[in-house]
Amino acid sequence: MEGIEPRNRDVYNPVEEVNTPTFRPGESPELSEPLSNQAEKSAEQPDTDTQSAEDTITIPEKSHEPSETDGPPSDLSADNSPRVSKDTVPSPKEDSGESIGESGQTLPESFETKPPEPSESPGPTPPPPQSSEDDVNIVNPYVPYTYEQMKDESLKLAELYPDIITLDSIGSSAEGRELTLIKLGKGDKKIILCGSHHAREYISSSYLMKMVEEYSKAYSNSGYFGKYNVREILDKICIYVVPMVNPDGVNLVNKGLAAVNNKQAVEAMVMMRSSYREWKANINGVDLNRQYPAKWDEKYDEVGKPASESFKGAAPGTEPEIQAMMKLSRDNEFILAASFHTKGNVIYWADRGTVGLIPGVKDMTKKLAALTRYQNMPVSEDPSIYGAGYENWFRLEFLRPAFCIELTPYNNTDLPHDDKKFDSLVWKNAKYIGLFFADEALRRK
């Protein structure tokens, strides 16, 4: 085996792939601990000290060979730097919890708090300030993010920012839910960003929706978001956003078995974890990020039949969600692509099949790591691990940059994160990623 990659990259452990237990959870999800003897879980667990889930962030050890990209950005603190060991198999991980959010500013001692003296002739009371688009917050990422919420917020955003947002559809899911496409920008050049290939990782959908709102707000007001001139960028480029590739799976995770069309079919599938809150596949029991025709034959599959995760399907590209993503990608000349996942706070940017064929990606990734403080991963070497993912297929199909970004820190569970901590978990590190990619795309020849 070439190496073991972190958590939501598929990891092979042949010793533990046999006799996967099957569980039959009830309709209401239970927040139970994941099964430590499962193949992917065991291979990906970091070695950590026992700490409080609310106080620490832990990034796992990895048993791959270190490479020149396998180091933190120069400004990354020691506490946030991954520890790499090529000789040890990671042991069970403790909950890393969430990183601390932004602190408020403290007034200097000299700051005057005394109210100003009233003028002799105060004059009439001015009218209250008019509300502006800058005061409007449509997207709510602080709750378990559902398909219905995404659809509703998409419509409201398009209504509020019609000059910069266009809604479209790329097809339908297995249960018939529309796969929403948001086009953000006016330019002819294009990039594509997508989220929630994996159902339990729906925080990637709320992240993309928050991104769309904040960039639109900046475009309509100041024109800037951080250092980025949003108006200048989005007048030249259009960001295609597919917020939720797997709406049926997200529906199961957040609403339980009662919300599924064919309950008996889902109940008959192999459960790799102990609750539906940990479901990863689409509603047909196929792991969508193992479905693309890129080294699919070499991709390992320890379960071999419909399951809550890990089943790559009977053949590549069988699922309607994957067919829709491939058609969208082929019908548009995207300069680059990014697929968002959890957990790990890492960036996958290259595999051995295409690393020498796409110029400039290493330098782009170094800048992205410095911007986000995420860890650059080494070039993925083993097709049985990296194969059949969207980013791998995109590179192979178009020979253009494609990234898999794990947005959140590790913890010791396959359950979704605490959505109330969205800002500290995701936004504070990742809020500039979309504009970064758009700006980099404009620079590519």
Q: Is the whole model's pTM more than 0.85, yes or no?
A: no
Range 380-392 burial, b when 16+ CB lie within 10 A, else e: bbbbbbbbbbbbb
Does the pLDDT of residue 180 top 70, yes or no?
A: yes
Q: What was the pLDDT predicted at 342?
A: 96
Residues 164, 178 contacting (CB under 8 angstroms): no
Q: What was the pLDDT predicted at 65?
A: 33
Distance CA 386, CA 286 (A): 17
- Band the pLDDT of 141: cuts 50, 70, 90: very high
Q: 145-167: per-residue pLDDT in tens?
A: 999 999 999 999 999 999 999 99
Distance CA 335, CA 444 (A): 8
3 state SS of 170: strand
Q: 284-330: per-residue pLDDT in tens?
A: 999 999 999 999 999 999 999 999 999 999 999 999 999 999 999 99
Q: Which domains does the chain have, with CATH numbers?
A: 148-250+311-443 (3.40.630.10)
Distance CA 384, CA 352 (A): 12
Comparison of pLDDT for 325 and 18, the residue scoring more: 325
3 state SS of 24: coil
Q: What was the pLDDT predicted at 4?
A: 35
Summarize the confidence of residues 212-216 as an average pLDDT.
98
Does the pLDDT of residue 176 top 70, yes or no?
A: yes
Return the minimum-mean-pLDDT range out of 51-65, 141-155, 164-178, 339-353.
Answer: 51-65
Summarize the confidence of residues 420-436 as an average pLDDT.
98
Q: Which of 199, 173, 184, 183 is nearest to 280 (CA)?
A: 199
Comparison of pLDDT for 427 and 75, the residue scoring more: 427
Distance CA 408, CA 95 (A): 12
DSSP labels for 58-77?
A: B-----SPP-TT-S--TT--
Return the minimum-mean-pLDDT range out of 44-53, 151-160, 287-296, 374-383.
Answer: 44-53
Summarize the confidence of residues 414-435 as an average pLDDT.
97
Does the pLDDT of residue 78 top 60, yes or no?
A: no
Return the minimum-mean-pLDDT range out of 130-139, 184-193, 322-331, 371-380.
Answer: 130-139
- Band the pLDDT of 445: cuts 50, 70, 90: confident
Comparison of pLDDT for 309 and 116, the residue scoring more: 309
Residues 202, 254 contacting (CB under 8 angstroms): yes
Does the pLDDT of residue 30 top 90, yes or no?
A: no
pLDDT over 70 percentage in the chain: 70
